[in-house]
Amino acid sequence: MSLKTLVTGGAGFIGSNIAKALLEQGHRVIVYDNLSTGYRSNLLPQCEFIAGDIRDQELLKQSMHGVDVVFHLAAAVGNTRSIEQPLFDSEVNLLGTIRILEAVRNAGVSKVVYSSSAGIFGELKSLPINEDHPVMPDSPYGVSKLAAEKMCLAYSRLYGFQAICLRYFNVYGINQRYDAYGNVIPIFATQLLSGEPLRVFGDGNQTRDFVNVRDVARANLLAAQTDAASTAINIASGSALTINNLIQLMGYAHGAKPTVEYCPPRKGDVYHSCADVGVAKSIVGYEPTVQIEEGLLEYLQWFKAELSLVEH
């Protein structure tokens, strides 16, 4: 069955990959984005586009007419940015989400798939991280994403629509551009291709669970199709990789050994991270499929082509 879908933040990195996956399955896609970090060039021509901010209640109301599923990705992203700009972080991530949910409620939308974050967990008490792990976020970003997740689930109970919250771990892949506050992989790619040393905050033995955006997009589509009760689930690769090993793999994919510069650790960064994705498998049928070696090679090829376009 073809659905009418609305993707907030759909011109961004993850959102544009979800929009593409939806179009490939024959769904109608409306992208709602203020282009503060997204790009029109990320979108396929079949996407309908609304230039709007999620803090604009009236435009949200108009945009929800006849929509079956909302994929809510629009957000202020990053621990460091949130520490520097905590008010902005909450205005977008929490108040913006409440405005989305009000529009969903008033329009009678039947389902919301919310993009949450592993940042809600904070420093870890046990590994791998399952959905019952204590949530003690270490930054305003983690707090705002947790509050927005709880708000989605509360609204679903109050107003009878389904809400599936997907807790992403370290997502990487095509359409992910450099952002000084963003994921380590595009930062390393930028440094690698410019011949700069790769700057590591800490000793490099900290671990992350890197998940390819193609797997994340598929998880969103599976969440939209499930009849499961409203809940929150981890979306990750289910395996841990040290930053030092990541550097080695990126060097292999690039064909040159990187130089590394070690810097003091940053506030708000956890040391270890690895997810248990068993609940995602049982509830929505999600299993990661993209191996890190394959994903990094694909990403660096895209990144080099994108860099070449920018330079010319």
The tokens of 64 are what?
Answer: 């929800």
pLDDT digits (tens, 9 = 90+) for 74-121: 999 988 889 999 999 999 999 999 999 999 999 999 999 999 999 999
Kindly list the distances between the CA atom of residue 73 and the CA atoms of 19, 76, 156, 254, in Å, as whole numbers in the listed order: 11, 10, 17, 31
308 pLDDT above the threshold of 90: no
Can you list the domains of the chain with their CATH numbers? 4-172+212-236 (3.40.50.720)
pTM: 0.95
Q: Is 122 left (phi over 0), alpha (psi -120 to 50) or beta?
A: left
Beta strand pairing call for 111-117 and 162-168: parallel
pLDDT digits (tens, 9 = 90+) for 198-238: 999 999 999 999 999 999 999 999 999 999 999 999 999 99
Neighbouring CB atoms inside 10 A of 223's CB total 28
Average pLDDT estimate for 50-76: 97
Question: Are the CB atoms for 269 and 201 separated by under 8 Å?
Answer: yes
Model pLDDT for residues 165-196, shown as the tens digit of each residue: 999 999 999 999 988 767 899 999 999 999 99
Q: Which two tokens mark 246?
A: 């990541």
The secondary structure of 168-190 as a DSSP string is E-EEE-TT----TTS-HHHHHHH
Task: Residue 69: name the closest of 113, 27, 10, 107 by CA.
Answer: 113
Rounded distance, CA 97 to CA 117, Å? Answer: 14
**How does DSSP assign 270-295, residue by residue?**
-S---B--HHHHHHH-------HHHH
**How many beta carbons lie within 10 A of that of residue 25, not counting itself?**
13
- Rounded percentage of the chain residues whose pLDDT exceeds 70: 98
* CA-to-CA separations, 46 to 24, 27, 31, 144, 204, in angstroms, rounded: 10, 10, 10, 33, 43
Which sequence positions are flagged as catalytic? 141
Residue 311 has pLDDT above 60, yes or no: no
